[in-house]
């Protein structure tokens, strides 16, 4: 059974810092991996999607890397802003079909002004 | 990405009643939708896969007779929590599978969620 772990569970840093959020998964046979952002009481916003054949994806100040063989992904946030405060979730898809996602518990991020 | 809505955004009901939650794909025809549940301080857990025109596929431990799923069209899936009890109180979120065409390859787009409180 696939298990996804995110470290740290919570993080609070001053504005402007560069951050790294970590995600690990036990079964390396994944199809793709997605990073999401969830604001309190809200749904999920997709940030980045990395296919299993890819090593990284970038969108603005966000960069996500994937090391499938070691079961790890990192989300790098550059020049953090208070608006980045949210819970960041990592999720993996187990197959190439229309399959559901297995989520980690998330990293609760607070950016101090 | 796809735009997904859910209705209602929150609902409070008495124990023993049934509650229906709608998930709509507003700009995309979705053959497959997913239903997830999120308890406080926990991650999202997949409940079931909703397939248009066929029976839903439920994850292990999810009671299909309690959580009825209907995917009658390519833009609408409904989740009905039957005979709801306080332990069913949770945040229910649906997602739409993007398919394999276009820019969003095998990506999932999520609705805003429905907060269910059973008294």
- Select from A84, A58, A75 the least CA-distant residue to A6: A75
A13 close to A111: Cβ distance less than 8 angstroms = yes
Q: What is the mean pLDDT of residues A17-35?
A: 94
Cβ distance of B43 and A89 shorter than 8 Å = yes
| CA separation for the pair B78, B94 (Å, rounded) | 9
A51 CB near a chain B CB, below 8 Å?
A: yes
Q: How far is CA B36 from CA A70, B94, B113, in A?
A: 27, 6, 9
Is A93 in Cβ contact with B43 (below 8 Å)?
no
Model pLDDT, residue B100: 55
> What is the reported pLDDT for B1?
67
Residue A98 confidence (pLDDT) above 80:
no
CB contact under 8 A, A43 and B44: no
Mean pLDDT of the A45-55 span: 92
Contact B106 A93 (CB under 8 A): yes
* pLDDT, chain A, mean: 93
Q: Mind listing the pLDDT tens digit for each residue in B62-77?
A: 999 999 999 888 889 9
Nearest beta carbon to residue B34 from set A4, A89, A100: A100
Per residue in A73-107, is it b (16+ CB within 10 Å) or e — as a string? Answer: bbbebeebeeebbbbbbbbbbbeeebbbbbbbbbb
From CA A43, how far away is CA A32, in angstroms rounded?
Answer: 20
Subunit contact B43:A104, Cβ cutoff 8 A: yes
The model's pLDDT over B38-65, given as tens digits with 9 standing for 90+, comes to 998 888 999 999 888 888 999 999 999 9
For residues A88 and A35, the answer to whether their CB atoms sit within 8 Å is yes
Chain-centre distance for alpha carbon A63:
10
State phi, psi for A73 to the nearest 5 degrees: -140, 150
Q: Looking at CA atoms only, how far is residue A80 from chain B in angstroms?
A: 24
Residues of chain B with pLDDT > 90: what percent?
A: 65
Residue identified by tokens 């919570």 is A10
- According to the model, what pLDDT value does residue A10 have? 96
Give the pLDDT of residue B40: 85
CB contact under 8 A, A96 and B1: no
Query: Are the C-beta atoms of B3 and B104 separated by less than 8 Å?
Result: no
Residue A31 near chain B (CB below 8 Å): yes
Considering CB atoms only, which of A32, A43, A98 is closest to B111?
A: A43
Which of B32, B43, B110 is nearest residue A98 as measured by Cβ atoms? B32
Distance from CA of B110 to the nearest CA of A (A): 6
Inter-chain residue contact B99 with A96, CB threshold 8 Å? no
């Amino acid at each position: 059974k696939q298990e996804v772990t995110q470290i740290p569970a919570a993080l609070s840093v001053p504005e402007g810092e560069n951050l790294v959020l970590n995600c690990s998964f036990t079964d390396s046979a994944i199809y793709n991996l997605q990073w999401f952002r969830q604001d309190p009481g809200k749904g999920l916003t997709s940030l980045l999607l990395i296919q299993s054949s890819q090593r990284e994806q970038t969108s603005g100040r966000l960069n996500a890397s994937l090391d499938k063989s070691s079961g790890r992904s990192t989300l790098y946030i550059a020049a953090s802003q208070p608006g980045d405060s949210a819970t960041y979730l990592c999720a993996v898809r187990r197959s190439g079909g229309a399959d559901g996602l297995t989520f980690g518990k998330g990293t609760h991020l607070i950016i101090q002004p | 990405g796809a735009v997904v809505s859910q209705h209602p955004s929150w609902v409070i009901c008495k124990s023993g009643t049934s509650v229906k939650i709608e998930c709509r794909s507003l700009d995309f025809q979705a053959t497959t939708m997913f239903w997830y549940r999120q308890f406080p301080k926990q991650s999202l857990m997949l409940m079931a896969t909703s397939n248009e025109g066929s029976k839903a596929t439920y994850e292990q431990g999810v009671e299909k007779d309690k959580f009825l799923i209907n995917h009658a069209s390519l833009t609408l899936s409904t989740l009905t929590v039957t005979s709801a009890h306080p332990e069913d109180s949770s945040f229910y979120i649906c997602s739409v599978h993007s398919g394999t065409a276009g820019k969003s390859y095998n990506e999932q787009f999520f609705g805003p969620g429905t907060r269910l409180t059973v008294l």
